[in-house]
Structures are given as C-alpha cells and as structure tokens.
C-alpha cells in the first residue's frame, strides 16, 4: 500500500497527479561523483536509464547498454527494463507494470504513475519524499534526499533545485565518500542514504572503503562541488579565465564570469599550478596527494626543494610520508631511493636539474620501505 508516512498515497493520487513534465534539474558533475566511489565502479546516469558511467579516479567514462536494456546499479550489469528500477525521462513507464509507480531521479518528491493510458506525473505532499523501494511517499526523515538551490557555477540556471538522491545512482551495500568532508562517509541501504563520520579525526579512504589515514592530503574526494553538496562553491572570481588548484591533483577551478567551475584534466595528467595547464603527473608542481591515479605503492612526494621524500600509497591514497637516507633521492620510476642522483621530476625538483650520473646510482640503491605506518583502520559502522 502506498503511504503518506504510514498512511495512503492512493487517497490523494487524483489530486496530485498531473500531465506535466518533471521539474528541471542541474546535471551532476560526474567527475566529482566518481571521486567519492571506488575505482572501477559503475554509476547510473541521472539522465538516461540505458546509460551509465565507469569511474576511475576523477574520470567518468560514459557507457551504454545495448538492445534496449537498462542499467541496474545494484547488479552492475545491463538488464531488461522490467528488471530495473530506473525510470526513463522520455518514457518513464517503458517496460513497467501498469499500476506501478516509478521515481523521478531529478526530484526527491516526484514520481510517475504508470496507468493504462501512459505515464502521469505526481508529487508527494510538502515535506515528504518518494521512496522507490516501498513505492510510497514517506516523511523526509524516513528517506534521505534533499534539494538545494545552486547558482550557475554548477551548470544550472539560477534557482534550479538539484535532487541529491545519490542512492538512485549508486549501488546499495557499500561505503563511499563525501564530497564535502574528508572524514565523512555514505552508505546506501534499500536506496536509503545513511551518512556518518569517521571517529578520532580519521579520514575516509574511498578505495579502501574504510576509515584511517590521518593525512589530510589523502582526501581527493572532497571537491565541494555544488551539484553534489547543494552548496555554492565558497570562492568567487572577477577575471574570466583565471585558474586555481582544487583538492584532487587532476582537477582545477576555472573562472567563468563571477564564479569558479570545477574542471578535470585528461587521463594521466595533473594540474600544474605554475604553468596553469594539465601536464604529465611527474611534471606537475601541485601540493596534493600524488597517490591519486597511481597503482604504485611508492610515489614521489611533492616538494619545492628536493626529491628526498616519498609517499606510501594504499588503495590510491596517501598513508604515510617517508624520507630517504642522507644523499639519497627517491625515484618513482625506479621505485627506490637512489644515491646522489636526483631525478628531473618537476613535482619535487622544480628546476628540473639532474644530479650525479646514473652509473653511480646503479651500484647503490635502497628499496623504499615503510617505517611509520601507525595509522589504524576503522570500518564505518
């Protein structure tokens, strides 16, 4: 039985249903969303049931199901439209049972009623959200979904409401990160969003899906993107075309009029704060977590004075900072501390000057090891 809270939606159906279109919504920044989920995960598209995204770091690759199939976020596969809870924007009742209700992914309280004559749009009473699992209008505290007014910096027109119903896009049953808080985590259960914070000042590791790693730089998921947080980016600008670095190494903010828009570099590139361009990651002068996008356990740490430090990476995030012995420099390509030979990586050697000949280094190398990995891991509960 459909319900208002625990009452009946059906009683008010005739009053609520109308042959109108769904309210407009701003497109989500999929690059920012991908930073909150583990690498390799598929995320539903907000705009089309047959489309979905493959997330790898901040790279969101658009993919599509074939033969009229819909993407099922929970099985991470393409299935027949009747087996998917997704409602197409152009044909929300396609393949759905007559008499059923389908959610409107762009509105917390919107839904479609699939009648004999086709789809009819309706809205829950004020203060209630539509729960696609129970197919009922419930009080807002019973189904987490919020709407916020954002400005044009997110790609929306001023005053447009953005539905933050992330569980309509993200798989149920695992932890993912927050776009506004390093320590924050989210969890979808039966399409209901549950959120919390890691204890004792720990931060949430997206790929590890757990709490740990106290370093504040291991927090690439925090972009404060308005389309995810519902909050307008805190910075404003006056000169179009100016840039500033973002939290993630491969992202930056571009001034487009009066506000900054979050941009993402191409695959394998980082934003260089000096040249204000996207460059090869080893050449980027950017004080950020350089574990992002790397599959290596050890990478050079950012420095403006020398390459003697390196990062210990776990699941694509910084866990510890280590230092090579005196007169040794870390070389990410070699994966070791090399004697008296400083690599010409601008990420730690801005002048790009190399040290002694590599023939000396070939005879004396020391393998990078971890010595200060005392951070504990606590799984969100």
**DSSP states along 283-317:** G----S-TTTT---SEEEPP-SS-S-EEEEEETTE
User: Are both 180 and 72 inside the same structural domain?
Assistant: yes
Q: Is the pLDDT of residue 163 over 70?
A: no
96 assigned to some structural domain: yes
Q: In terms of domains, do 360 and 260 share one?
A: no
Q: Which of 195, 225, 255 is the last residue of a domain?
A: 225
Q: Do 163 and 86 have their domain in common? A: yes
70 and 36 share one domain: yes
* 320-329: Cβ within 8 A, 24+ apart: 320/215, 320/370, 320/372, 320/373, 320/375, 321/215, 321/372, 322/298, 322/368, 322/369, 322/370, 322/371, 322/372, 324/366, 324/368, 325/366, 328/366, 329/355
Strand intervals (E) in 70-183: 70-72, 77-79, 101-103, 110-115, 118-123, 128-131, 136-139, 147-150, 160-163, 175-177
Q: Is the pLDDT of residue 359 over 70?
A: no
Which has the minimum average pLDDT: 193-207, 231-245, 269-283, 334-348? 231-245
- Give the pLDDT band (50/70/90) at residue 126: confident
Pairing of strands 70-72, 77-79: antiparallel
Are 348 and 282 in a shared domain? no
Average pLDDT over residues 231-238: 60
Tell whether 217 is covered by a domain: yes
Among 201, 225, 249, where does a domain finish?
Answer: 225
Decide: 53 and 61 in contact? Cβ < 8 Å. yes
Q: Across residues 102-107, what is the average pLDDT?
A: 75
pLDDT tens across 184-217, in order? 999 988 877 788 899 887 889 898 899 986 664 5
Residue 374 lies in a domain: no
Residue 9 falls inside a structural domain: yes
Residue 166 confidence (pLDDT):
82
User: Per-residue pLDDT for 14 more than 90?
Assistant: no
pLDDT (0 to 100) of residue 88: 64
Q: Give CA 163 to chain center in angstroms.
A: 16
Whether residue 277 is found in the same domain as residue 355: no
> Based on the domain organization, do 48 and 134 belong to the same domain?
yes
pTM above 0.85, yes or no: no
Residues 202 and 351 in one domain: no
* Cβ(376)–Cβ(369) below 8 Å: no
Instruction: Give the mean model confidence (pLDDT) for residues 213-225.
Output: 72
Determine the average pLDDT of the residues in 150-161. 35
Is there a single domain that holds both residue 78 and residue 11?
yes
Is 212 domain-assigned? yes
Residue 247 forms part of a structural domain: yes
Residue-wise DSSP of 308-377:
-EEEEEETTEEEEEEEPPTTEEEETTTTEEEET-----TTT-TT----S-HHHHHH-EEE---S------
- Domain count for the chain, please give it: 3
d(CA 4, CA 242): 49
Residues 217, 279 share a domain: no
Task: Assess whether 163 and 260 both reside in one domain.
Answer: no
Question: CB atoms < 10 A from the CB of 55, how many?
Answer: 23
pLDDT given at position 41: 96
Average pLDDT over the chain, rounded to an integer: 75
148 inside domain: yes
Rounded CA-CA distance 142/144 in Å is 7
137 and 270 inside one domain: no
Residue 184 in any domain: the answer is yes
Please calculate the CA angle 273-54-150 and round it to the nearest 5 degrees: 60
Is residue 141 over pLDDT 80? no
**Total residue count of the chain as it appears in this document:** 381
- Going by C-alpha positions, the residue among 286, 230, 262, 271 that lies closest to residue 30 is 262
Distance CA 120, CA 102 (A): 10
Tokens for 191? 């399409």
Question: Residue 259's domain spans which residues?
Answer: 235-287
């Amino acid at each position: 039985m459909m319900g208002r809270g625990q009452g009946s939606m059906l009683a008010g159906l005739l009053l609520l249903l109308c042959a109108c279109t769904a309210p407009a919504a701003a497109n989500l920044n999929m690059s920012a969303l991908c930073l909150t989920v583990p690498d390799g995960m598929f995320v539903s598209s907000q705009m089309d049931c047959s489309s979905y995204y493959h997330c790898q770091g901040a790279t969101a690759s658009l993919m599509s199901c074939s033969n009229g199939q819909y993407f099922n976020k929970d099985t991470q596969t393409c299935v027949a439209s009747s087996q998917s809870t997704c409602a197409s924007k152009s044909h929300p009742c396609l393949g759905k049972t007559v008499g059923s209700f389908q959610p409107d992914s762009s509105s917390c309280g919107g839904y479609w009623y699939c009648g004999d004559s086709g789809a009819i749009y309706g809205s829950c009473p004020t203060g209630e959200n539509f729960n696609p699992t129970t197919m009922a209008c419930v009080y807002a505290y019973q189904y987490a979904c919020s709407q916020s007014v954002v400005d044009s910096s997110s790609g929306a027109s001023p005053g447009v409401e953005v539905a933050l119903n992330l569980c309509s896009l993200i798989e149920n049953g695992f932890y993912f990160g927050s776009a506004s808080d390093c320590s924050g985590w989210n969890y979808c259960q039966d399409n209901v969003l549950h959120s919390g914070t890691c204890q004792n000042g720990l931060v949430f590791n997206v790929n590890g899906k757990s709490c740990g790693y106290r370093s504040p730089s291991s927090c690439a998921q925090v972009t404060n993107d308005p389309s995810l947080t519902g909050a307008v980016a805190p910075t404003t600008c006056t000169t179009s075309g100016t840039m500033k670095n973002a939290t993630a190494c491969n992202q930056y903010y571009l001034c487009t009029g009066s506000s900054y828009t979050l941009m993402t570099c191409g695959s394998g590139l980082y934003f260089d704060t000096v040249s204000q361009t996207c460059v090869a990651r080893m050449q980027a002068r950017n004080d950020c977590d350089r574990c992002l996008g790397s599959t290596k356990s050890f990478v050079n740490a950012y420095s403006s004075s020398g390459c003697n430090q390196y990062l210990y990476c776990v699941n694509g995030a910084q866990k510890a900072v280590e230092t090579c012995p005196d007169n040794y420099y870390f070389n990410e390509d070699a994966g070791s501390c090399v004697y008296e030979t400083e690599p010409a990586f601008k990420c730690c050697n801005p002048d790009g000057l190399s040290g002694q000949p590599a023939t000396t280094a070939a005879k004396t190398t020391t393998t990078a090891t971890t010595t200060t990995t005392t951070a504990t891991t606590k799984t969100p509960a």
